[in-house]
Amino acid sequence: MTSTQSNRESNRDRLAQLDTFLSNTRSLWQPQPFKQVRPAWCDLYPQLTEALLTLDDEPLQFYSDNPESFLPWLVEQLPELTPLLGWHELPVKQTSAIELPGNRFFDGMGGRKRSQIEAFTCHSGQIEHSVVEWCGGKGHLGRLLGHSWQKPVTTLEWDGALCEAGCVAAEKAGIDQVFHVTDVLQPDLPVALTHQHAVALHACGELHRTLVRHSIEQTAVALDIVPCCYGLGCDDIYQPFTEGLSLQLQKDDMRLAVTETVTAGQREVVQRNKEMAWKLGYIELRKQQTGEAGYRNIKPIRKAWLQQSFREFCQQLAQREELMLTDDADWDRFEQLGWQRQDEVMRLLLLRHSFRRPLELWLVLDMVCALEAAGYQVEYGTFCERQMTPRNIMISARR
């Protein structure tokens, strides 16, 4: 067996094992504590539930900010989840010796975006063909790849204003880069991927899945992608590339894979916690006034509502839902209930969030195996630290 065949077998086996593990543990990660006061697993594992709910604020904050540090604690409570430790371990992509340009080349680019683009360029490997940049915005990534490897670049982007700005930046930098205003989800593309090197940094959901399909169908010679927002554009049930998998992911399951954030400031965290607590308080109030037992989805709210009182917040939500609230509601009590529920939800979520990376890896391996089945040699791994972006898995495929 060649090393390529061995690698394919390894990835197929790993996907099959992960598929079985996630299917068998669905009852732990699929329920959403925000929607259920006590998921069913709380009754099955009362000691784990008690341990989570009695966590002090300091370890709660630490584990929320450092999810991998929570795993040893969780495995000690529930040894059958020991495989989680392995599913969080990913290889680091190899780097290429690239001399990056000076600061002037990156004018107009945010620091975090610049860091991601530099990391992508250093980890994508040698580029030997012309580049097609998928959903490229202003073409920052394509411009740097064109500079680094002296290859022509075609950037596909649906926003005409971004394309115009990208053209100006490319001309200023002396890069052979052309832009096409196009919707990549439409069947007719302005450029074929045959004999091209396709790249995409954080193309969301169906956008990166469409690139994988086009690359396979049009036999692109190379592909480097960093997927993001897997649930975007997905049907109610995800249709995997690989046949024979037992796990069925719904949209909410796919959103779980990308809920981790590392860029929120303290003010954003405070506002997020307040929004969660007030929504939960409103849900308890709505149950009391309507007698509804189940969960009803709450549409996104206007952030300005959080600057009002809790009573006004609830009245705004009720008005949108065409619900008449009584004037004698105990607003202080229901706000307090909301904060109590928020405190519990954040602790119970630690278990669910432990499955974010394995779910993302399942989605990544699904694409990896599809590319390998189409004749590509594929590598995957992290291209930067999670502090730069939690969506830090890169897939590299070569014919």
Q: Return per-residue pLDDT of the chain as tens, 399 residues.
A: 344 555 667 999 999 999 999 999 999 999 999 999 899 999 999 999 999 999 999 999 999 988 899 999 999 999 999 999 999 889 999 888 888 898 888 887 888 899 999 999 999 988 999 999 999 999 999 999 999 999 999 999 999 999 999 999 999 999 999 999 999 999 889 999 999 999 999 999 999 999 999 999 999 999 999 999 998 888 889 999 999 999 999 888 988 888 776 655 778 888 999 999 999 999 999 999 888 877 888 989 999 999 999 999 999 999 999 988 887 889 999 999 999 999 999 999 999 999 999 999 999 999 999 999 999 999 999 999 988 999 999 999 999
Report the alpha-carbon distance of residue 98 to residue 265 in Å, rounded: 33
Report the alpha-carbon distance of residue 113 to residue 388 in Å, rounded: 9
In 3D space, the residue among 357, 131, 335, 363 whose CA is nearest the CA of residue 224 turns out to be: 131
| Segment (H or E) for 198 | strand 197-204
Q: What's residue 166's pLDDT? A: 96
Class of residue 389 by CB neighbours under 10 A (exposed 0-12, middle 13-18, buried 19+): buried
Give CA 14 to chain center in angstroms: 21
Which are the contacts of 114, defined by CB distance < 8 A and separation ≥ 6? 106, 140
245's tokens:
């998998």
Report the alpha-carbon distance of residue 87 to residue 202 in Å, rounded: 22
Continuous H helices in the chain: 3-24, 26-29, 41-44, 46-53, 57-65, 67-77, 83-87, 111-123, 140-149, 160-173, 206-217, 251-256, 266-290, 310-320, 331-353, 356-373
pTM of the model: 0.92
Q: What's residue 304's pLDDT? A: 93
Q: What's residue 3's pLDDT? A: 46
Specify which residues 222 forms β-bridges with: 197, 398
Class of residue 125 by CB neighbours under 10 A (exposed 0-12, middle 13-18, buried 19+): middle
In 3D space, the residue among 201, 203, 11, 185 whose CA is nearest the CA of residue 91 turns out to be: 11
Q: What's residue 6's pLDDT? A: 54
User: What is the residue whose two structure tokens read 């291209």?
Assistant: 383
Q: What's residue 258's pLDDT? A: 82
| Contact of 213 with 238, CB cutoff 8 Å | no
Report the alpha-carbon distance of residue 24 to residue 21 in Å, rounded: 5
| Contact of 322 with 253, CB cutoff 8 Å | no
Q: In what order do the strands lie in the sheet with 393-398?
A: 177-181, 153-157, 131-134, 197-204, 222-228, 393-398, 377-382
51 vs 62, 82, 103, 347, 369, CA distance in Å? 16, 18, 50, 9, 39
| Contact of 157 with 132, CB cutoff 8 Å | no
Report the alpha-carbon distance of residue 336 to residue 318 in Å, rounded: 19
Specify which residues 226 forms β-bridges with: 201
Q: What's residue 2's pLDDT? A: 46
Task: With H, G, I as helix, E, B as strand and everything else as coil, classify residue 89.
Answer: coil
Q: What's residue 1's pLDDT? A: 39
Give CA 31 to chain center in angstroms: 19
Task: With H, G, I as helix, E, B as strand and everything else as coil, classify residue 387.
Answer: coil
**CATH number attached to the domain at 103-260+356-398:** 3.40.50.150
